[in-house]
Amino acid sequence: MIGGNELVTPGEFSVGAAKRYVSKGVYHSNNYVIDWCKLVPLKCNAFVWRAEMGKIPMALALKNRNIDSDDLTCHMCGSGEYIVNHLFSRCIIASRVWHHIVLWCKVPPFVTSSTRELLEVHNAVGLSNTAKEVFQGIVSVGCWSIWRLKNKLKFEDKQVWVEDILSEIKSIGFYGLEVDVN
């Protein structure tokens, strides 16, 4: 028995029984569900999905897995703890990126304290339909670009400039697309 429904006999498991269980609507999960944006590359959607779950390799996560990491501070700003929420929401470099995106997209300024809030901001900036989806894509590509350029700084010792991140966001997600979300 599953959840009081006689879908399977005790001690027995089958894919069919699981499918019937899920299709009955009795499956409940506390996991956050990200709406993937079809306007951006799959790698960006997969990345933000993993980032929200805390499944990207950050210094603290690596340390928790017994992988030595000498420095637990943010490589971009040098001041915050190197964790996902800092990198995308609290880092001064990321804050500057989001400020420029707000100006570019002509949406109200926003402040987020977590990756989840950042991934939901497209629902709170007063956009509708296609404009909302475009802005969602910009945020996803923005996270991907911040991550990539942070890695260039850490592993290739290349300087990170906000302009480089913005340029990458525009070229990866919306090359040649004039974005006016209003």
How many angstroms from the chain centroid is the CA of residue 15? 31
Mean predicted lDDT score pLDDT of the chain? 81
What's residue 99's pLDDT? 97
- What is the dihedral sign for C-alpha 52, 58, 60, 65? positive
Tokens matching residue 51: 């980032």
In the predicted model, is pLDDT for residue 131 greater than 70?
Answer: yes
Is residue 94's pLDDT more than 80? yes
Structure tokens of 16?
Answer: 């069919």
Q: What is the pLDDT of residues 58-84, one digit of tens each?
A: 766 666 777 666 667 888 888 878 889
